Amino acid sequence: MRKKRVATVSLAGCFGCHMSLLDMDERILELLQDVEFDRSPLNDLKKFTRRCDLGIIEGGCCNEDNVHTLRDFRNNCDVLVAVGQCAIMGGLPVMRNAIMHSDDPLRECLEEAYCSSPRVYNPSNQIPNDPALPLLLDKVYTCVDVVKIDYQIPGCPPSGDVLWATLSALVRNEPIDLPYDMVKYD
């Protein structure tokens, strides 16, 4: 049987979910018997080399580049898994959507962050606007707002054990067993 090809990416996330992926510890070697990584920060591949079986997404979409990448994943992966609170519900970044009763929420958010907040030191009073910076979206979108998502693994981040259990079951196409201890949150 050929190895399953897996791609991963971090969009508007903190890389915590990827760190958690590494928390599988030595089990990742076991996983590598069935899996090879394509595009992923783990191997620093920045483009898809081939179509993949599985795409793992951390983080939601806060700018145009996130959308572009997510759609690229949708186009190149058979199954997409959203991992972590940011990908599923927007997480911390989505807090900016709370500025909703404004005519221009994005501007209000940027001004608060870069100019008007009392703790900001910004003598030029400018909002970063390098042409290389991707444009921000009007609000933060979750992955499922933008493309179809096949599975979600909640948690911030989901523990290495949960990731191991779900991903290994997925690549082996086996039913999943999630004991209560593993999925209870307290």
Partner 1 sequence: MIDILWAVQDKLGCIDGEAMSLIAEKTGTYRVEVEGVVSFYAFFSSVRKGKIVIRLCDDIVDRHAGVFAVAKSFENTLGIKLGETTPDHWFSLEYTPCIGMCDQAPAALVNDVVVTNLTPAKVKGIVRTLKKTRDPRALVTKTGDGNNGHRLIAAMVKNNIRHTGPVLFDKSPAEAGLKQALTLSPGGVLELVVDSRLRGRGGAGFPTGKKWRYAAAAQAALRYVICNADEGEPGTFKDRVLLTERAQLLIEGMTIAAYAVGAAEGILYLRAEYRYLKAYLEHILARRRSRGLLGDNIMGKAGFHFDIRIQMGAGAYICGEESSLISSCEGKRGEPKNRPPFPVQSGYLGLPTVVNNVETFCCVPPLIARGPKWFTSIGTPHSSGTKLLSVSGDCTRPGVYELPFGVSVQDVLDKAGAKDPAAVLIGGASGDMIGRPEFQRRICFEDLPTAGAITTFSSHRNVLEIANYYMDFFIDESCGYCTPCRVGNVFMKQGLEKIMQGLGEAGDLDYLRELGKTIIATSRCGLGHTSPNPILSSMKSFPLVYSALLNAHPNEFQAGFNIQSALDEARVIAKRRSLIYDVSYGDEE
Residues that bind ligand SF4 (CB under 6 A): 13-14, 16-17, 58-59, 84-86, 91-92, 156-157
Pick between residue 7 and residue 67 the one whose CB is nearest to partner 1.
67
Side-chain half-sphere exposure of 25, counting CA atoms within 13 A: 3
Sequence-ordered list of residues with C-beta below 8 angstroms from that of 76, at least 6 positions apart, any chain = 7, 39, 48, 51, 52, 55
Pick between residue 12 and residue 147 the one whose CB is nearest to ligand SF4.
12
Contact flags string 119-158 toward partner 1, x per CB under 8 A = --------x-x-x-xxxxxxx-x--xxxxx----------
Choose the one of ligand SF4, partner 1, none that binds residue 89, judging by a C-beta under 5 to 8 angstroms depending on kind: none
Using the CB atoms, write b or e for 75-99: b if 16+ within 10 Å: ebbebbbbbbbbbbbbbebbebeee
Side-chain half-sphere exposure of 15, counting CA atoms within 13 A: 3
Please report, as residue ranges, which positions from 64 to 83 form the binding site for partner 1 (by CB under 8 A).
64-65, 67-68, 71, 74-75
Is 53 a residue that touches partner 1 (CB under 8 A)?
Answer: no
Query: Would you call 93 helix, strand, or coil by DSSP?
Result: helix
Give me the least distance between CB of 129 and ligand SF4, in Å please. 26
Choose the one of ligand SF4, partner 1, none that binds residue 55, judging by a C-beta under 5 to 8 angstroms depending on kind: none
Amino acid at 94: V
* Contact assessment for residue 93 and residue 166, using Cβ atoms and an 8 Å cutoff: no
Q: In the block, which residue shows the tokens 């082996």?
A: 172
Pick between residue 21 and residue 82 the one whose CB is nearest to partner 1.
82
Contact set with partner 1 (CB under 8 A): 64-65, 67-68, 71, 74-75, 104-107, 110, 127, 129, 131, 133-139, 141, 144-148
